Amino acid sequence: MQLAANQLSAHLAKGLRSLYTVHGDEPLLVQEAADAIRATARAQGYTERTVHTVAGAHFDWSEVLASGGSLSLFADKQLIEVRVPSGKPGKDGSQVLQQIAASAEGNDSTLTLVVLPRLDGMTLKGAWFAALDSYGVTVKVDPVERKALPQWIAQRLQQQGQRVATGEEGLRTLQFFADRVEGNLLAAHQEIQKLALLHPAGELSFEQVESAVLNVARYDAFKLAEAVLGGQTLRVQRMLDGLQAEGEAAVLVHWSLAEDIRTLNRVRNAMDAGRPLPMALRENRVWGVKEKLMERALPLIPPAQLAQWLQDAHTVDGIVKGLKQPDWPADPWDALHRMAVKVAQALAPLRG
């Protein structure tokens, strides 16, 4: 049984199952989902808890099986937590997890919680994960995308009795807040909690948020590439500045941007050869957010413009490797700014 993270509370209110799997790459939300399961378990008498963290290829999985078969003299219900930080339990782990899943049904004395990172498509189709999903409840924790971050912040503020102003001022406040914490959800949570300590319940002004919320944003090169394809020019400039300040390698940033341009070109060539756009995107392994962005942009990008972007990518490749190019900045980050902003500005009119 599969659940989204926002469905978990309603599910737990109806009753507790004996096997849960939480997987995702957002530590705060994974922790909150696991905490909700633990709290419900404690309330229903699961007073004993054992935690196993799978580290290394030689982890002794027999300890996990042994935990399931033993209860202390002081508890009649127990929670067994299995954390697999790598998401790869190995051959022995795979067999044990399948065994645990098969024995979970009807087991009222032991609740098993498996905590995993974000899993790739192949792992999700593996026998051990299929067993966990078949016999228990799997909770997928998705990251909060930048577009949804202001609303997420507003909801968290509401939970602690605070809110921003209505109308344009409130939107401005939430956008400012989101810019300060983008890519760092745990820090965003902490900044929200800080506002509860600094100010009473009720409406928060822009000035109060501005003076309290630190700039704790964290960026990565792949999210930058999505912002470029999305035509988010100001965000692109802010992310490039942030990546440079964090010490990210210019060559990695260039690779991420250039790879998207090359992918656009490959998909365009496939379309010119008669392939339908959705098929061309799948064949080039484009899915998720980028699939939607490219699907919207590709039919409207003139071939000459795409060819120029390819040439720019080639030029900046030389610059980040130390070569000087006529009419281009010598500094790699300045060159990356010019290249990325040129593409973002061209795609900005396509934004919905």
Model pLDDT, residue 70: 61
Cα of first residue to Cα of last residue in the chain, in angstroms, is 35
**pLDDT at residue 149 in the model:** 95
Q: Give domain limits for the chain.
A: 2-141, 146-212, 221-350
- List the structure tokens of 31: 């922790």
Query: Under CATH, which architecture does the 2-141 domain have?
Result: 3-Layer(aba) Sandwich (3.40)
Q: What CATH class has 221-350?
A: mainly alpha
Q: What is the pLDDT of residue 72?
A: 55
Q: Which two tokens stand for residue 140?
A: 């997928």
Torsion of CA 271, 274, 278, 283, to 10 degrees: -80
d(CA 306, CA 276): 19
Report the pLDDT value the prediction gives residue 73, as an integer from 0 to 100. Answer: 52
Query: Which pTM does this prediction carry?
Result: 0.75
∠ CA 9-12-5, rounded to 5°:
40
Which pLDDT value is given to residue 76?
75
In the block, tokens 């593409």 appear at: 343
The whole-number pLDDT of residue 75 equals 59
For every one of its 352 residues, what pLDDT tens digit does the chain have, with 9 covering 90 and above? 899 899 999 999 998 999 999 999 899 999 999 999 999 999 999 988 999 999 877 888 988 888 766 655 555 789 999 999 999 998 999 999 999 999 887 778 889 999 999 998 889 999 999 999 999 999 999 999 999 999 999 999 999 999 999 999 999 999 999 999 999 999 999 999 999 999 999 999 999 999 999 888 888 898 899 999 999 999 999 999 999 999 999 999 999 999 999 999 999 999 999 999 999 999 998 988 889 999 988 988 999 999 999 999 999 999 999 999 999 999 999 999 999 999 999 998 866 5
Give the containing element (helix H, strand E) for 164. Answer: strand 162-164
CB 19 within 8 A of CB 101: yes
Q: Which distant-in-sequence residues (6+ apart) come within 8 Å of 246 by Cβ?
A: 218, 219
SS3 content of the chain, % helix, strand, coil (to 5): 60, 10, 30
Angle (CA) 333 337 342, round 5°:
155
Overall fold of domain 146-212: Helicase, Ruva Protein; domain 3 (1.10.8)
